[in-house]
Amino acid sequence: MNDKVIIVEGKTDKQQLMRVLDEPVHIICTYGTISFERLEELSEELEEKDVFVLVDADDAGEKLRRQLTQEIPHAEHLYITMLHREVAETPLNYLTRILRAAKFKVLTV
């Protein structure tokens, strides 16, 4: 398993990230919600990993972000603007800037 992990909400978010990442990264989809049991599993599984959270800029995304903050306190949070709202709809050049700032290797778009 890779040392870098990004937690996103959905499959289309993952696909959007894969379009710009230029290194192996494990991307975990929560599909918008996550059970307490799965959160506990993730917490243990990701204890020694570099974990990043990138969720939509909406109420559901913020709720998920709060849950993940409690269970995975060492995770670094990445943010998109309210203008873009959804990770899947965020322009690739903007995603590239966010990821590059977090020290990910990204493709030039």
What's the pLDDT score for residue 39?
80
CATH code for position 72: 3.40.1360.10
Residue 89 lies in a domain: yes
Residues linked to residue 5 through DSSP beta bridges, in sequence order: 26, 51
- Which of the four pLDDT bands, split at 50, 70 and 90, describes residue 35? confident
Residue 109 lies in a domain: no
What's the pLDDT score for residue 44?
85
Q: For the chain, how many structural domains are there in total? A: 1
Instruction: Determine the Cα–Cα distance for residues 11 and 29; give it in Å rounded to an integer.
Output: 6
pTM over 0.85: yes
Residues linked to residue 78 through DSSP beta bridges, in sequence order: 54
Q: Under a CB-based contact definition with an 8 Å cutoff, are residues 70 and 40 in contact?
A: no
What's the pLDDT score for residue 2?
67
Q: Which domain holds residue 22?
A: 4-101
Residue 106 lies in a domain: no
How crowded is residue 27: how many other Cβ atoms within 10 Å of its Cβ? Answer: 19
Residue 83: partners with Cβ closer than 8 Å, 6 or more residues away: none
Residue 107 lies in a domain: no
* 82 vs 95 pLDDT, higher one: 95
Looking at the predicted structure, is the pLDDT value of residue 75 above 80?
Answer: yes
Least-confidence region, from 7-16, 40-49, 82-91: 40-49
Question: How high is the mean pLDDT of the chain?
Answer: 92
Length of the chain: 109
Q: What is the mean pLDDT of the segment spanning 88-106? A: 96
Tokens of 27: 């991307």
Q: What is the mean pLDDT of the segment spanning 66-90? A: 93
